[in-house]
Structure 1
Amino acid sequence: MNNDFSSNTYDKNDDFIDITHDLDKHYIDTIEILRQTVEAKDPYTRGHSDRVSAYSVLLGKKLALPKKDLITLKIGGLFHDIGKIGIPDSILLKESRLTDDEYAQIKMHPIVGVQILGNSDFFYDCLPIILHHHEKFDGSGYPNRLRGHDIPYLARICSIVDAFDAMTSRRSYRDVIPLEKVVEELKKYSGTQFDPRNFVCLLRYC
């Protein structure tokens, strides 16, 4: 009797695990659709997250990071801007200067991203990247104004790669910035916006 009960319990647990796995997969698939929706809004940023993901992994390899961190960089890079799904198109696609209120809404996207991705264990290791990729080395970034090494290291990698891709990609209001100028800008803000160590490693790829 007890053996039958135990057997039935194990069977039900197996079913529950299968269902949970399926739900996790559907959740991740849904998040991927949301990510692609964000990029589809603006043709000038299409492919941005894919490039940030790829560049982050390349920089991580250059920094001799372990495989676990490289995987986290890959996923974090793909989904770092997922929170922009909560920003109105009128702000996200605006070509003129943002008002203070509009910029305040833009600065909410890391928090919104964590709220979206925090519901799945799959994204747990990526959350620091999502939340802190706009922090600056001098403490003037957002959302938490973290400074220096208080900023999670993988988020610091994503930060400089994010800026690099933004400058080397065409926008509706400007053409691609020449690589030499991009390097000058990254060097200018090394130690204030970016971790200097990451700039030196990135420079080897330019």
Structure 2
Amino acid sequence: MESCKYCSTDENSIDYHEIIECITCALDAKDPYTAGHSQRVSDMTLRVCQIMGFKDHDIERIHIAAHLHDIGKIGVPDSVLNKVEPLTDEEWQLIRRHPQIGAEILSKSTHLSELKDIVLCHHERYDGKGYPNGRKGCDIPIGARIIAICDSIDAITSNRCYRRAHDFAYCYQEIRKNLGTMYDPIVGQYVLDHWKWVTKGQKE
């Protein structure tokens, strides 16, 4: 196995997993509707990376980025994150800032700054209609393209303050019909071809 700075067994090394768990727990406390979301997304992301045959270091890097993909929501007001009523245009703009905020947070760390572009791009769409920068296709980091699908799976199958969760059959069809528009069609096909394994241990 390749050496990886995120999972070193050196007793003097920083335990990144422990630090990241603390950060994501803080986010869960701030936004109860997404409690556990980062963990579920990172679990699915890990499986997709393994299915696609990535190298160990790349798997670990993308896995950690998935844990941290929503860290920028720490910079979004609670009144917006937890609002039951429909968001105003101004509130949507605040929500849409979270990838940029997350990237800025990670850029402060020497060890985690290489993850910032993945976090920045996890709401970009394959067709270029996402945010914050309208990047498209292979201009979006592969890690962000994987996280985007896993993020959607968990969002669709979770209860939200404004709707009940959809089942996994509905979710499967939503992912399938959006290949090539919202989602990378190659990554998406891997997910669909290994659906039961990718979604193993989720809420179904």
Using structure 2 for the length normalisation, give the TM-score: 0.83
Going by fraction, where is helix more abundant, 1 or 2?
1
2:148 to 149, 159, 173: 159
Aligned equivalents of 1:133, 1:93: Cα separation in 2? 21
1:42 to 31, 37, 44: 31
In the TM superposition, residue 41 of structure 1 has moved relative to its aligned partner by 2.4
Provide structure 2 residue ranges, at least 5 long, that are not aligned to the other structure.
1-11, 197-204
- Residue 72 of structure 1 corresponds to 61
- Measured against aligned partners, the alpha-carbon deviations of 1:148-205 in whole angstroms (never above 9, x if no partner) come to 1111111100111100111122222322211111011111211111001111111122
- When residues 76 and 27 of structure 1 are mapped into structure 2, their CA distance, relative to the original with a 3 A threshold, is closer
1:189 counterpart letter in structure 2 = N
1:101 aligns with 2:108: no
- Residue 179 of structure 2 corresponds to 190
1:118 aligns with 2:118: no
1:170 counterpart letter in structure 2 = N
2:24 counterpart letter in structure 1 = R
1:177 to 161, 166, 180: 166
1:130 aligns with 2:137: no
1:34 and 1:85 in contact (8 A); partners too:
no
- Measured against aligned partners, the alpha-carbon deviations of 1:70-111 in whole angstroms (never above 9, x if no partner) come to 101211011110000000011111122111111111111111
Aligned equivalents of 1:45, 1:62: Cα separation in 2? 26
Aligned equivalents of 1:159, 1:141: Cα separation in 2? 11
1:89 counterpart letter in structure 2 = D
2:180 counterpart letter in structure 1 = G
1:141 to 127, 130, 139: 130
2:124 counterpart letter in structure 1 = E
2:169 counterpart letter in structure 1 = E
Aligned length: 185
Using structure 1 for the length normalisation, give the TM-score: 0.83
Q: CA RMSD in A?
A: 2.2
